[in-house]
Chain A
Amino acid sequence: MAVAGYFKRAIKNIKENGFISCLTIVTISLLVLMVSTFILFIDNAGRVMDSWKSGIRIMVYIKPDLSDSAIDMLKEKISDFQEVEEVWFIPREQALDLLKKQMGHQAPILDDLKENPLPDAFEIAIGKGPGQHALTYDQIQILASNIRRFSQVEQVEYGQQWLERFSSIFDFFRVIGFAIGSVIVFAATFILANTIRLIVYARQDELQVMRLVGAYDRFIKTPFYLQSIILGGLGAAIGLAVLYAGYNYWFSSAETWFLSVDIGFLSSRACMVIIFSSMFLGWLGCHFSLKKFLKD
């Protein structure tokens, strides 16, 4: 009953201040659109990179003249690493055949060789690390150097240089995104606080009368909190809806096969988190405003 009354007054507040309420909702939805677009981008880019990373193979070249049992033992040891998913032995002859195939019509050069110059090798497919995340580039590096420590190992090669660079660019993006996100959170709180401040100013007389006749604090303040939370939530919901529409427009038909993963929308949990965060910012902005502009 009391709650319904507060809601009624909050809705009335919004209606009576329609212009500024709309302005606030639009601004918040733009900010949420920016943030959630970025989250969507980071989220999908991360998954694309994970899939690329899980495609990385580590090549382990082994010393010549090892016995078959020594090779088997080495294979065992390598398989024992948690991060290693699968190990294939590639005999030097097979490697040479492969090389010939790749060289195509230039292959006859290799026929002049008296001896196969290639070493025996293992090819390693990398699995997931602890916590089912794709390995980071650092983790791949550590795995490689651990394998190199075996005395039977001549050399370890892995990964493409570009992936490392891509990885660091991606991390840089994440940091920038976080910074911009913080600024946007600050801006959204400020905008909501400012809206409440304007409305508090506009109703100064009314609030004073309420206070002087003995209205409880919560009677005066609750509608403002509700109003601010509604504006925050509505803004976030609209921002996400716009993002979803855009997502459907760009990605439902777009050819994304080359990325090797499906471009997914934010999970419903992520959407909830965004909406509730925005509502929380509404609460926070209102709190600042009332603290500063509603004294008795």
Chain B
Amino acid sequence: MVFFRKKRNMPDGLWVRCDGCSSMLFKKTVEDGMFVCPECNYHFRIFSRDRVKILVDENSFEEMWPNMVPCDPLNFKDRVTYPERVTEEQQKSGLKEAVIVGKAKINGSEVMIGITDPSFIMGSMGSVVGEKIARVTEKAMELRLPLILVSGSGGGARMQEGVFSLMQMAKTSAAIARFQGAGGLYISILTDPSLGGVMASFASLADITIAEPKALIGFAGPRVIQETIRRALPKGFQTAEFLLEHGFVDMIVNRQDMKKELSRLIAYLQ
């Protein structure tokens, strides 16, 4: 579990200020440009449903296991109880949990896909996220389809589910190991933010790892690191570009080119 600066998805209204360059942008223009700032290429955080629209063929996404919701194995309560928090987050985000998974087509070729969504409890991995990632991976193995997992998780683990949350790192990694052992192609797409337990498990285990420009990616959150070392972090630390430089991602791809690049990779590797 890590801290991160809370960034909004696109707010309501006609205009939106870019978090990257502070320009005032006409919202419709940004939406039509896949939620990327036309001035500075800043990639806005987007909902998993919007991600589906820009990543796979129109109407090709068939969601699987949509009715899985968290329970409260720890009887957890901080300022509110965990079930209260879940309800709150469901209403706020319109999601049942932090991941959607299913089958889809990318320029005509079938894939299994999973997308974690930072707008639901920071995209953290509890039992539901772990189970759905494991199931979609097993399905990809059964159907011999490529697996694409898009990570957006600022929390890593779901604290309110305690050790069950931690063990999802093991569960998802075990499923990925089986799938890859059977020759499956797995492509991981890292979006802003990808941190903690998600990064220290399935998101880091792909055959090909792609990051969106400027995405915050790492193990520990920047605030935790700063509190540990007690000095300012270097500029550009833990960005997609930083990871590329240090050899941990294969490529950085603009959102507008993502679908096309996935197609090219699948054509080579599947």
Are A and B subunits of one complex?
Answer: no
